[in-house]
């Protein structure tokens, strides 16, 4: 496989997939949604792959949806966000996310779908939805409360603040925050432990863990998508976009 | 609005509601159930309010149900506990609880229904249900395990012991315990962050977070109410009330 | 009652049940499944018992299923694992587990079914399922994520590594890890607190806490059992058993 916006490398049975738009802080363009979806589908099918690591090329993990691209006309993506989420929900093998740098929007909420996350102490995550006049997505309104309790999840998802690696580890959004210099060593070591075990066992245990939550996760994603659609063009969203264009702080008084 | 047992104040779009029966440690009389319910209903309807803070006047947060009143004949409350719970379950805006002093019974379990809780380090919470020969309420048998895991919730709800601010923060029942002198500054600062964001986004994200749990929460509250009714007049409850009247320790041996 | 593989002792209304096959590290033979099931059923029926403590005789808590016995022909057990799980799921009184030494397999996963667990700092738990070419059981794929979040549970259940008392306490699988020398004092003190309260209240609160999860727990146990059956004789399982027989490290490359 050969992708425009995704790079991958196999070491024994561990595949590392890199979001590879470093010049755009690995923001999710339609191409990246499609490439990453294909990468998951092919990693599912490839019996030589037992474990997948997802990380970002360059200094960011992912800046989230590509706002630059949003305005421009483009052909419809093959998979898009919905296809990517479905591919991750159905991905049967252990998925480890290595948050190597900043993660925003889907660059933060995707952590709720992984089996394991590790994060650089220097990295930060942010769910900017309220500040954009929008709402949370990628199932995070269900996965985050499961991982960290309703109160911490509500703060993370509503307040649009940055969360440090240490805060994310304390909350349980990632298993551990380590210095960036040691991040990939840590993650590779964990991947090696898993890859040394029978894949059928890993897959069965993963599917048992996910099964009780799958229907609700899909229902939540659908409800989030509807919520997002409803809020597009709402006063808060209009003000957020205007402020962005005009390079000023948004003013949500009375909104 | 003008209430006998509740006081409120608005600063910009943040409303602070105070339980205001300090002479009774803000115990919930029928009047307080009704006043607080009305306060929530009016805060829902008032489009100038974006965030509500709930706290207690004086040195207590709330001593729980007003046992003094329980014996006396009274007109039926308009809303009562059930009406209050429904108003909180349906309250669409961010609700922050500031536990400024002791909380007992509903003064502790109400924390499970809030979006965010902060607590004075000097404050303590207690779920005295077993010691009264009763059982837990306000949905806490569902919300507490979600927040802190089954084991810690079981201890908190069964053992009738006091929990310090630090223990509540470690458990996840509150986001943070801070010195009382800094409590309202901390809470006001958090409220300001939220109030600076578009209300439609805050409400949508809150409703998505709550949705997967609402039916179960209502079912649990109904089951708790039935359990409470069944235990009224049970040997444990009779002994607890007798010991209270006779100002002695209850003896639950063989009960 | 008089059991071959289980010993018990009552102090006032607290019953301590000991897994009593110390020469086999309290591994679960068919006899032990049956004896422990009977012990739970009789403790349910015995109105003088308010609280049950489960612990292990000797230096281990439980080495898990008795692999020695697995090969040998034997009469069908009366209750077996399924009967034991049902007896624990339906056990109405507070159950405290005291993990006094190593716990493997069901010796670790049983903690997910208890109301409270305490663990010796010196003890360790391990879920070796992947290393045996099998999958997790005893409802742990549901209970562990509820207690410690999906990521930590996935690691514990998939990676087959040892977890220290301190790690188990931090994860929330046990309430506290204390030095072995103080374990039973700690547990007995907690049991005394509970036993000093009315049993009807303890039972009602426990049943309310468990109720929302019972159907899913049973469904998960059934799915786990099917998963285990499917993996018996799978390439990973065959290699694990061969390596065990041949006293070598298993090689799961390509499996």
CB-CB contact of A153 with B209 (8 Å): yes
- Taking an 8 Å cut-off on Cβ atoms, the answer to whether B114 and A145 are in contact is no
A205: nearest CA partner in chain C = C135
Angle subtended by helix axes A150-159 and B180-195, to nearest 10: 50
pLDDT given at position A2: 78
A16-38 as b/e: b if 16+ CB within 10 A:
bbbbbbeebbbbbbbbbbbbbbb
Q: How much is the pLDDT for B1?
A: 66
- Residue count of chain B, please give it: 255
Q: Which of C131, C155, C161 lies nearest to residue A175, judging by beta carbons? A: C155
Positions in chain B whose pLDDT score sits under 70: 1, 70-74
CB within 8 Å: A252 and B198: yes
Contact A158 B208 (CB under 8 A): no
**Percent with pLDDT over 70 in chain A:** 97
pLDDT of residue B71: 61
Predicted model pTM: 0.97
Q: Which residues of B51-60 are buried (b: 16+ CB within 10 A; e: fewer)?
A: bbbbbbbbeb
In degrees to the nearest 10, what's the CA dihedral of C99, C100, C105, C109?
0
Q: What is the rounded average pLDDT of the residues C99-103?
A: 98
Q: Are residues C147 and C157 in contact, defined by beta-carbon separation less than 8 angstroms?
A: no
Nearest partner of A228 among B45, B205, C179, B144, judged by Cα:
B205
Q: With contacts defined as CB-CB under 8 Å, which chain B residues touch C202?
A: 130, 158
Q: What angle, 0 to 180 degrees and rounded to 10, lies between the N-to-C axes of helices A199-231 and C199-231? A: 120
Q: Give per-residue pLDDT as tens, C207-222.
A: 999 999 999 999 999 9
Q: What is the DSSP string of C80-141?
A: HHHHHHHHHHT--S-EEEEE-S-EETHHHHGGGGSSEEEEETT-EEE--TGGGT----TTHH
Q: In which element (H, E) is residue C69 found?
A: helix C67-71
Give C69's pLDDT tier (boundaries 50, 70, 90): confident
Q: In B, what residues contact A, Cβ < 8 A? A: 13, 48, 94, 114-117, 143, 146-148, 172, 174-175, 190, 193-194, 196-202, 204-209, 211-212
CA distance B134 to B142: 17
Measure Cα distances from B234 to A243, B64, B136, B210, B237 in Å.
Answer: 63, 21, 15, 35, 5
Nearest to A210 by CA among C7, C18, C154: C154
**All structural domains of chain B:** 6-180 (3.90.226.10)
**pLDDT at position A70, please?**
65
Q: Which of C180, C171, C79 is nearest to C123 (CA)?
A: C180
pLDDT at A1: 66
Chain A residues with beta carbon closer than 8 angstroms to that of C149: 146-148, 172
CB contact under 8 A, A252 and B116: no
Chain B: touching chains (3 or more CB pairs < 8 Å): A, C
Q: B-chain residues within 8 Å CB-CB of C140?
A: none
Closest partner CB to C201 (pick from B135, B216, B220): B135
**Band (C77; pLDDT cuts 50, 70, 90):** confident
Contact B200 A141 (CB under 8 A): no
Instruction: Grade residue A185 by pLDDT with cuts at 50, 70 and 90.
Output: very high
Are B204 and A231 in contact (CB < 8 Å)? yes
Residue A186 has pLDDT above 80, yes or no: yes
CB-CB neighbours of C189 under 10 Å = 10
Task: Tell which of B197, B207, B213, B216 to mutate to test the A interface (max A CBs under 10 Å).
Answer: B197
Which of B137, A244, B215 is closest to C204 using CA atoms? B137
Instruction: Give the per-residue pLDDT at C174.
Output: 98
Q: How confident is the model at residue C1 (pLDDT cuts 50, 70, 90)?
A: low
Question: What secondary structure letter does DSSP report for C77?
Answer: P
**Pick from A58, A65, A77: nearest CA to A19:** A58
Q: Is the ipTM of this complex over 0.90?
A: yes
Which chains have 3+ CB pairs within 8 A of A? Answer: B, C
Write out pLDDT tens, residues A220-236.
999 999 999 999 999 99
Query: Contacts by C19-23 with C-beta closer than 8 Å and gap 24+?
Result: C19/C54, C19/C55, C19/C56, C19/C57, C19/C61, C19/C62, C20/C57, C21/C57, C22/C56, C22/C57, C22/C58, C22/C59, C22/C60, C23/C58
Mean pLDDT check: name the lowest of A174-178, A230-234, B138-142, C1-5: C1-5
In whole angstroms, how large is the CA radius of gyration of chain B?
18
Q: How far is C150 from chain A (nearest CA, A)?
A: 7
Cα–Cα distances in angstroms (integers) from residue A217 to residues A137, A158, A227, B81, in the given order:
11, 19, 15, 32
Pairwise CB contact (< 8 Å): B202 & A130: yes
Over residues C241-248, the mean pLDDT reads 95
Instruction: Please determine, for residue A88, whether its predicted confidence score (pLDDT) is greater than 90.
Output: yes
Tokens of A22: 């470093």
3-state secondary structure B216-250: HHHHHHHHHHHHHHHHCCCHHHHHHHHHHHCCCCC
Give the minimum alpha-carbon distance from B36 to chain C in angstroms, rounded to a whole number: 27
From the CB of residue C247, how many other CB atoms can be counted at a distance below 10 Å? 6
pLDDT tens digit string along C49-68? Answer: 999 999 999 999 999 998 77
Q: Which of A173, A170, A102 is nearest to A140 (CA)?
A: A173
Specify the DSSP element, H or E, that contains B147.
helix B140-148
Q: For C81, what's the count of Cα atoms within 13 Å in the CB-facing half-sphere?
A: 18
pLDDT, residue B74, reads 63
Q: Which residues of C touch B108 (CB under 8 A)?
A: none
Q: What is the mean pLDDT of chain C?
A: 96
C50 closest CA partner among B93, B253, B71, A220? B253
Determine the straight-line distance between the first and last CA of chain A, rounded to whole angstroms: 48
Radius of gyration of the CA atoms of chain A, in A: 18
Class of residue C28 by CB neighbours under 10 A (exposed 0-12, middle 13-18, buried 19+) = buried
Q: How many CA atoms lie within 13 A of A110 on its CB side?
A: 31
d(CA C102, CA C177): 13
User: Tokens 């890859």 label which residue?
Assistant: A195
Q: What is the pLDDT of residue A76?
A: 80
- What local confidence, expressed as pLDDT, does residue C74 receive? 63
Give the per-residue pLDDT at B227.
Answer: 98
Separate counts of helices (H) and strands (E) for chain C: 10, 9
**Mean pLDDT of the residues in chain A:** 96
Of C55, C49, C39, nearest to C12 by C-alpha is C49
Tell me if B173 sits within 8 A of B153, measured CB to CB. Answer: no
Q: Chains A, C: CB contacts under 8 A, how many?
A: 110
Confidence of residue A71 (pLDDT cuts 50, 70, 90): low
Burial class of residue A148 (count of CB atoms within 10 Å of its CB; 0-12, 13-18, 19+): buried
Q: What is the predicted pLDDT for the residue at A131? A: 98
Q: Which residue has the higher pLDDT, B72 or A26?
A: A26
Convert the pLDDT of each residue in A100-118 to its tens digit: 999 999 999 999 999 999 9
Rounded to an integer, what distance in angstroms lies between the CA atom of residue A116 and that of residue C239? 27
Query: What would the mean pLDDT of A247-252 be, rounded to a whole number?
Result: 97
Give residue B77's pLDDT.
Answer: 87
Contact assignment for C219 to A202 by CB distance below 8 Å: no
Q: At what angle do helices B150-159 and C140-148 cross, to 10 degrees?
A: 70
Q: Degrees (nearest 5) of the Cα angle B248, B250, B253?
A: 140
Which residues on chain B are in Cβ contact (under 8 Å) with C113? none
- Nearest-CB residue to B212 (from A131, A220, A240): A220
Residues 6+ apart with CB under 8 A from A6: A17, A18, A19, A20, A32, A35, A36, A38, A39
């Amino acid at each position: 496989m050969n992708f425009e916006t995704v790079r991958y490398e196999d070491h024994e049975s561990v595949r590392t997939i890199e979001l590879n738009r470093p010049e755009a802080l690995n923001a999710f363009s339609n191409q990246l949604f499609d490439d990453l979806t294909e990468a998951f589908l092919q990693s599912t099918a490839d019996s030589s792959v037992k474990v997948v690591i997802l990380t970002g090329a360059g200094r960011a993990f992912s800046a989230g949806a590509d706002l630059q691209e949003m305005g421009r006309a483009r052909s419809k993506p093959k998979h898009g966000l919905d296809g990517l989420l479905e591919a991750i929900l159905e991905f049967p093998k252990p998925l480890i996310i290595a948050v190597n740098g900043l993660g925003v929007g889907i660059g933060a909420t995707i952590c709720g779908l992984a089996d394991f996350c590790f994060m650089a102490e220097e990295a930060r995550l942010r769910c900017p939805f309220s500040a954009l006049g929008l709402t949370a997505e990628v199932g995070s309104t269900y996965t985050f409360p499961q991982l960290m309790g309703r109160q911490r999840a509500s703060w993370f998802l509503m307040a649009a603040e940055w969360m440090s690696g240490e805060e994310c580890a304390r909350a349980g959004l990632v298993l551990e925050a380590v210095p960036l210099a040691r991040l990939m060593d840590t993650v590779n070591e964990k991947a090696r432990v898993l890859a040394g075990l029978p894949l059928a066992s890993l897959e069965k245990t993963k599917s048992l863990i996910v099964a009780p939550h799958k229907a609700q996760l899909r229902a939540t994603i659908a409800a989030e998508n509807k919520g997002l659609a409803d809020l597009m063009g709402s006063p808060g969203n209009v003000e957020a976009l205007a402020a962005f264009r005009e390079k000023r702080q948004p003013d949500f008084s009375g909104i």
